[in-house]
Chains A and B, each alone.
Chain A
Amino acid sequence: MNDDNDRDIDLGRVWTGIAAEVWRRRPGRVERLAARLLRSPGLARALLTTPSLLLPWLISTAVVFGVGGLVNLVGGEPSVWLLAPGLAAIGIAYAYGPGVDPAWELASSMPVSERMVLLVRAVAVFAVNAGLGLVVSGITYWATADGLHGAGGHAAAATAAAVTFAWLIPMTAVCALTLAVAVVTRSATAGALTGVLAWGATVLASQVSAGAFSAAVTDTATYLPYLAVAACATAVIGYATRTPRRIQ
């Protein structure tokens, strides 16, 4: 090679470098934080593409909670507890899976674990719904607490507090059941329907057996069954998403 050739520039390589800089997408603050926490930029990006964490879905969830809070303030009936498990269940059912995630088959062939994607998305949706529910519950509880103290004293306030905050346990059970059904049937709709129907049936059964819809969240005797359902559903999810072994 002569001197001219030695000085040749690989224009293709240069252009690729320029294109990489021009097209580079800087991850946002939330994505950078998620990548650091999860120790995986891929998992962080997968988390941020969760269908039921996208803005339209979040707005509609916040609106439903807001309406529930207003109903509570105006009518005096706590309703967030009734909404929260159902809303979270629907969000979790639509967090991941074939038919929900357009690139699900492609994502299934990736080294980032499918189970991890499912887990972080479910936890994130649950956390968002729990957070929104707690904020609205807190606002409505503190707005009505004075009235409760005046009318019936501490017992009434304690019941109201239980109704306001104790829905987290049934919500965990309903979400786990929903996710288990969605994973096993590979249908988000089947999961969401099961979760909502199961929660509705539980609330109705509380009215029949204890004479109050709110017994579904205030009756401490129900906590153990809720936790048992959550544990069983988690086991089912674990089994359904297990590593496929070679079958000889």
Chain B
Amino acid sequence: MNIELTGVTRSFGKNKAVDGVSLEAGPGVLGLLGPNGAGKTSLLRVLATVLPPSSGEIRLLERDPGRVADRREIRRRLGYLPQNLGYYPAFTVVEFIEYFALLKEVPSARVARAVAAAVERVDLGAKAKSRLRTLSGGMLRRVGIAQAIVNDPDLLLLDEPTAGLDPEQRVGFRALLRSLGETSTVVVSTHLVEDVGAACSEVTLMDTGHVVFRGTPDELVARGEGHGIGDAPLERGYSAVLQAARAAARGDGVAA
């Protein structure tokens, strides 16, 4: 298993952004769905080793991120796209991706080829020498994806990767996700249920810091049968699960 979480909680003051999450994942594409404030981004930050958990146990790539040597090795094999990609406006696309390849300790002799391969995979070859300040939001998102995959990660964490991508780019990106998921564990946090339906082999739905559903996209669709809210089958499943979870939390006696 590349991800093993047991009772992981992350608090900010009195607010529990992630509340007792247990999760296991091997190779494949795992969609992380949930409304705003559900705890998806905090969970991704914990998985990215940017935030330590307040409690609970984590093992990533069969290592303990609480240990310095293990964490360093995890980070070498990790790709992370944060929700807000900070970038250096004066850097070119290649310089930016190369910078993170170096920080990821990709061997110097392999950096140039790894950068070129990452740029090509996100279809930014024509903009390779462009300064980041001249790129559109969608292109910057692709630059962010390229830096995340430049080290051929075994664990790839993407927070809202399709934000700003046009429909054609989204289709291409989903194909990239499926191909990456053949060998790596890819966790994609998104609001777009169509991304989940098209690219994910499994779905985890979060609400108020808890995992309220774990299954395949088909199982999520099945949960929405006979449910009126939502235009697409997955949206109906999403709404049905959330409603049931909230009713259960209120004590209405409806199982989540």
Contact = CB atoms under 8 A, between A and B. Distances in A.
Contacts of B116: 16-17, 19-20, 23
Contact of B128 (A17, A23, A45, A244): A23
Given A20-B112, A248-B55, A110 B103 contact: yes
A23 B126 CA distance: 11
A45 B102 contact: yes
B55 A107 contact: no
Contacts of B99: 45, 49
Interface residues of A, number: 35
A109 B80 contact: yes
A200 interface: no
A93 to B, nearest CB: 18
Interface in A74-90: none
B94 interface: yes
B227 interface: no
Interface stretch (B71-79, B166-174, B199-207): B71-79
Contact of A42 (B50, B64, B94, B104): B104
B76 A23 contact: no
Interface string B6-42: 0000000000000000000000000000000000000
A145 to B, nearest CB: 44
A103 B95 CA distance: 13
Contacts of A239: none
A20 B108 CA distance: 13
A103 B80 CA distance: 12
A106 interface: yes
Nearest to B54: A247
B48 interface: yes
Given A46-B103, A110-B103, A111-B104, A243 B117 contact: no
A245 B147 CA distance: 27
Interface stretch (B81-89, B215-223, B235-243): B81-89
Taking residues whose C-beta sits less than 8 angstroms from the other chain, chain B's interface range is: 35 or more
Contacts, number: 109
B86 A49 contact: no
Contact of A20 (B58, B68, B115): B115
Contacts of B68: 243
A111 B72 contact: yes
Given A45-B102, A245-B52, A106 B128 contact: no
B88 A102 contact: yes
B115 A109 contact: no
A109 B49 contact: yes
Contacts of B52: 244-247
Interface of B: 45, 48-50, 52-55, 57-58, 64-66, 68, 71-73, 75-76, 78, 80, 82, 84-89, 94-95, 98-100, 102-105, 108, 111-113, 115-117, 119-120, 125, 128-129, 147
27 contacts: A12-B120, A16-B113, A17-B113, A20-B112, A21-B112, A23-B116, A25-B94, A42-B103, A42-B105, A45-B102, A45-B103, A101-B86, A103-B86, A105-B45, A105-B84, A106-B147, A109-B48, A109-B49, A109-B50, A110-B100, A111-B75, A111-B103, A111-B105, A243-B66, A243-B71, A246-B58, A248-B55
A245 B116 CA distance: 36
Given A20-B112, A111-B72, A246-B52, A106 B85 contact: yes
A111 B113 contact: no
Given A42-B103, A45-B103, A111-B105, 16 more contacts: A16-B120, A19-B116, A23-B115, A23-B116, A23-B128, A42-B102, A102-B87, A102-B88, A105-B84, A109-B50, A109-B80, A110-B104, A111-B73, A246-B57, A246-B65, A246-B66
Contacts of B119: 19, 23
